[in-house]
Amino acid sequence: MTADLRLNARWLLTMADATATVQENVAVFISNGRIDSIEPQDSTRLAAATIELGQHVLMPGYVNAHGHAAMSLFRGMADDLALMTWLQEHIWPAEGRWVGPEFVYAGTRLAVAEMLKAGTTTFADMYFFPHDAIQASVEAGIRHVSFTPILDFPTNFAANADEYIKKALKLDDKFGKQPLVTLGLGPHAPYTVSDGPLRQIRVIADEKRMPVQIHLHETAFEVEESLQKYGKRPTRRLQELGFLNAQTSCVHMTQIDDSDVEILQHSGASVVHCPESNLKLASGFCPTAKLLAAGVNLGLGTDGAASNNDLNLQGEMKTAAMLAKAVAADAAAVPAAQALYMATHGSARALGIASQTGSIEAGKWADLQAIDMSVLPQQPLFDVISQLVYTDSSRSTSHVWVAGKLLLDQGQLTTIDEDQMIAQAQQWATRIKQG
């Protein structure tokens, strides 16, 4: 049968597993937005359209497994500060003053534009007014996993945990059947959500088969506070509440010991590693090599642009690989192929969407990126996988497809006006500076 689209590329990485096997001179056929087949380039199969990618790598789009997209409008607003100072004296007051539907919609569009240009096809978001963030994503055509934030205390968005949960469930009315959207629950952290809501979230998530994401063991202060208040470490508390399972992704995990690793190992929960945000806020180091050795699934996230300060998951991948070597004192820790897996299939597994995206396999959505390896920064080329991880290969991302729709064409966004985004971001900066 004739396919909708045929992509011919010099190299193909399917990322179906962590070996990251490189195939050469293959064709990927796409029909109805999904991967139809992978065949040799001498295949006689017909397609309605063909794109010759030349000296490109064709691979899955990156899956950014944790972030706060709208916070792109706070990029660079409060840098070089400790986490709690950054939060309590700068970010939380700014959010109280500015965050609303208009802010979230504009900030999310800015973030989506940035992510698409660097090869990201799916992103997870945990932020207020998720309806507006999802709307911005759907209009742009990117895949979105929405974790509605849930806290015990009031914000501009809701008054208490019960109201946050109700608003999360109400999103199903509009977006529940949208193929680009996965709805989840996002209890902020063990120190901002009490036992009752955590139990309720677990029950709802299990009943509705929703993914859950939580910030966990982000700082030493968080662990010490839990020991004083509950007499146990946060991971142990969540385990005893029955909160941790394979639907749960735990973000950061910089302050963990062997008991925490064992709990994660037996629960099936994933860890989302955000190395650059953790480094910038001096939160600590996630022992990724130890977690991988224990069989824990790892994904990668950028966190928000206010604490990173970019949303380039390729850069996160490079930092994760190099940081792991320093932490483990082992240059072989987290090799390039493993880092690529974390940024694609590993992140998709962490979000509970690996059956839909994260690798190039027949039946999955055609969420792809093409990276030009003929340009100067990629020369000479000895090892494709090493080059993708250890150089800034995101600068060479030329094409991005989500569900077979071309969203980046020769480096140009097709669904977002880049000049308009820049002007709008500058207008918001002026407003925020003027107070």
Residue 182 φ then ψ, to 5°:
-120, 130
Give the tokens for residue 205: 């998530």
Question: Nearest CA to 321 among 305, 348, 343?
Answer: 343
Task: Say what the pLDDT of residue 87 is.
Answer: 86
pLDDT digits (tens, 9 = 90+) for 151-182: 999 999 999 999 999 999 999 999 999 999 99
Question: Would you place residue 243 in the very low, low, confident or very high pLDDT band (cuts 50, 70, 90)?
Answer: very high
Domains of the chain, residue spans? 3-60+365-413
Strand locations in 143-275, DSSP E?
A: 143-150, 181-187, 212-216, 248-252, 270-273
DSSP letters, 80-103, are S--HHHHIIIIIHHHHHHH-SHHH
Q: Please enumerate in sequence order all residues whose Cβ is within 8 A of that of 420, keeping only pairs 6 or more positions apart, or say none.
A: none
In the structure encoding, which two tokens stand for residue 286, read together? Answer: 């996630």
Integer Cα distance of 160 and 152 in angstroms:
5
Q: Which pLDDT band, with edges at 50, 70 and 90, does 435 fall under?
A: confident
| pLDDT tier at 421, thresholds 50, 70, 90 | very high
Average of per-residue pLDDT values in the chain: 97
- The predicted model gives 330-334 an average pLDDT of 96
Judging by DSSP bridges, how do beta strands 412-413 and 405-409 pair with one another?
Answer: antiparallel
Can you tell me the distance from the alpha carbon of 226 to that of 217, in angstroms, rounded to the nearest whole number?
10
Calpha distance 358→344 (Å, rounded): 5
Domain 3-60+365-413 CATH class label: mainly beta
Region 323-344: what's the mean pLDDT? 97
> Is the pLDDT reported for residue 188 higher than 90?
yes
Which residues of 188-265 form beta strands (DSSP E)? 212-216, 248-252
Q: pLDDT over 90 for what percent of the chain? A: 97
- Give the residue-averaged pLDDT of 118-143: 98
Residue 277 has pLDDT above 90, yes or no: yes
Amino acid sitting at position 197: P
pLDDT at 295: 97
Q: What pLDDT, on a 0 to 100 scale, did the predictor assign at position 255?
A: 96
Residue 212 pLDDT:
98
CB neighbour class for 387 (10 Å; exposed up to 12, middle 13-18, buried from 19): buried
- Asked if pLDDT for residue 202 goes beyond 90, the answer is yes
Share of the chain above pLDDT 70, in %: 100
- pLDDT at position 256 is 96
Q: Which residues of 215-239 are buried (b: 16+ CB within 10 A; e: fewer)?
A: bbbbbeebbeebeeeeeebbbbbbb
Q: Calculate mean pLDDT across residues 329-343.
A: 97
The pLDDT of residue 82 is above 90: no
pLDDT at 337 over 90: yes
Average pLDDT (10-17) is 97
Query: Is 90 exceeded by the pLDDT of residue 83?
Result: no
Average of pLDDT values for 92-100? 94
Q: How many CB atoms are located within 10 Å of the residue 327 CB?
A: 18
- Per the CB < 8 A criterion, the answer to whether 15 and 359 are in contact is yes
Whether the per-residue pLDDT at 29 is higher than 90: the answer is yes
| Spatial separation of the C-alpha atoms in residues 435 and 421, rounded to whole Å | 21
- Say how far apart CA 308 and CA 50 lie, in whole Å: 38
